[in-house]
Chain A
Amino acid sequence: MCESVCQSVLVTGFHVNVIGERSVPSKVLATLAAVALAIVLGVVDYLTGREWAISAFYLLPTCIAGWMAGRSVGFAVGALCAGLWFLSDMLNGAAYQLPLIPVWNALMLFIFFFIVVWLLTAFRSSYYYLEQTVERRTAALKAEMEERKRLEHAKLQAERLAVVGSMAAQVAHEIRNPLGAISLNLDLIGAEVNGNGNPYAHPSDECHMLLREMRLQVLRIHQVLQEYLRFGRMPKSERAVLSLNDWLEEKLNFVQPLLDQNHVDLRRKLDPDLPPVQADGDQLWEALLNLIRNAVDAMPAGGNLTVSAKRNGAEALVSISDNGRGMTEEEARNLFVPFFTTKGDGTGLGLAYAQQVISEHGGRIDCSTARGKGSTFSIQLPLAVSA
């Protein structure tokens, strides 16, 4: 029996499990109480004599037994009550015209109790069935509402990303025109200070340094713009069947120098039986590279980076874990919000881009993090149909 069915809750002093079936001790207790009450009623019936008609009170222990301990016990207690009533009648010196009348009365009482117990237990079953159905449907409704909420949130996020992307692209384009002129003018100034080929020109080191600094700044703006544009004009993914293991092996080899340079130890846990996925390798790699770069940044003094891939039902689960500084609650909450960044030189688009790519592939990306312990990004991608 499943755990939820066995779980008990306290209802009016008796333990009742979620499908309405009481525990054995509760049943025994209810049966003993009903039997005791029936005996007390029998004694009272005998002591009060035939003038006091208390047969209707026998209904009480019968109903208690039927409701609390089930139909069979209800029938048994009903029979006991009918018997006690008959016995009390006989011991009081019954004087009927026909000797079978007390038996007939007891039988009628038992038939009446039988019908009451039957109806009562039937009502109880339907009551619990109804309760169970309501509970089940409430849970299903709740799950559906949560799923709908998640989808609406994802849709809102996608729409927001689309607007942000389009705006970012527009702004980036507008900046590129003056930046183009600045870049060319810097080269012209460079040629000018070098005397335009005049071997006797001796520009100062300071002049060279300033020019170099300005070129670097132009390059920096250019790179930021490229990132905005990459985000804003992400083409529709061109998916093909991709063996994640081979692909990850190849791509991780590519980033090995970056990891070595940052004293990051890479651990691969790739399930050899992982079926392929349907994915755009280039886009997926850009998304993953963002996660790997973030992991490296989170471990400034080096650390461990674990990349794992395994099957999880009809999906492939790729995890990227680091044992870096982890994130605060606020950072974790705003992780995928465009332009949110904790890095001085970040654009805040890396993770938003990763989420957009994964979402475009019909997958999901989640993050679990603990301050001071590290973070794990989990990507779920649907397996290729043939898998």
Chain B
Amino acid sequence: MDELQDKSVLVVDDDPGMLRAMTKVLANEGMQVTGVSDPVAVATKLADSEKRFDLVITDLRMPMFSGRGVLALASVLPELPVIIITAFGGPDVEAQTLRLGAFAFLEKPVSAGQLIDVVKRALARSPIRDA
């Protein structure tokens, strides 16, 4: 649990049930979780100089602003890993998002164990595929 203690994570998902569940799982690991269900608010959160995130977890298909947009915003901040977690996956989408700079690509449903494992790898900056 210590590796995740007090690490700050921004979770973006327009599905309130999924957002609540992810927030709770990560918070139980001692992380500082900021949950955002309105993707447009992501830019504000990321631009907030007071708040520095260690990690971003985002859904891919959302209204107004997609996970690719989140990826593009996050790419401005170096060393900020982004995990994509989506219900609308597939090999093509996975390859595309990884090419755009995502650290990992997960397809829903995931278990708490899987999520925590990927989060740990992301924070340790060890690419998941090489693990």
Report which A residues bind B (CB closer than 8 A): 173-174, 176-185, 187-188, 191, 196, 218, 222, 229, 233, 235
Contacts and interface: CB of A to CB of B under 8 A. Distances in A.
Contacts of B85: 180
B21 interface: yes
Nearest to A179: B109
A181 B15 CA distance: 9
Interface string B85-121: 1011011100000000000000111111101000000
Given A174-B87, A177-B17, A235-B92, A182 B28 contact: no
A184 B28 contact: no
A181 B88 contact: no
Contacts of B9: none
11 contacts: A176-B109, A177-B15, A180-B21, A180-B108, A181-B18, A181-B20, A183-B108, A183-B111, A184-B112, A187-B111, A235-B91
Contacts of B115: 184
B108 to A, nearest CB: 3
B87 A177 contact: yes
B16 to A, nearest CB: 9
A215 to B, nearest CB: 8
A180 B109 CA distance: 4
B25 A180 contact: no
Contact of B17 (A178, A188, A191, A222): A178
Given A176-B109, A222-B109, A185 B87 contact: no
Contacts of A173: 87-88
Contacts of A235: 91-92
Which of A176, A180, A218 has most chain B Cβ within 10 Å?
Answer: A180
A185 B92 contact: no
A306 to B, nearest CB: 34
A184 B21 contact: yes
Contacts of B112: 184, 187-188, 191
Contact of B110 (A178, A183, A188, A229): A183
B22 interface: yes
B24 interface: yes
A184 B18 contact: yes
A349 B91 CA distance: 20
A178 B90 CA distance: 18
Given A178-B15, A180-B109, 19 more contacts: A173-B88, A176-B108, A176-B109, A177-B87, A177-B108, A179-B109, A180-B15, A180-B18, A180-B110, A181-B18, A181-B20, A182-B109, A184-B18, A184-B110, A184-B112, A187-B25, A187-B113, A191-B28, A235-B92
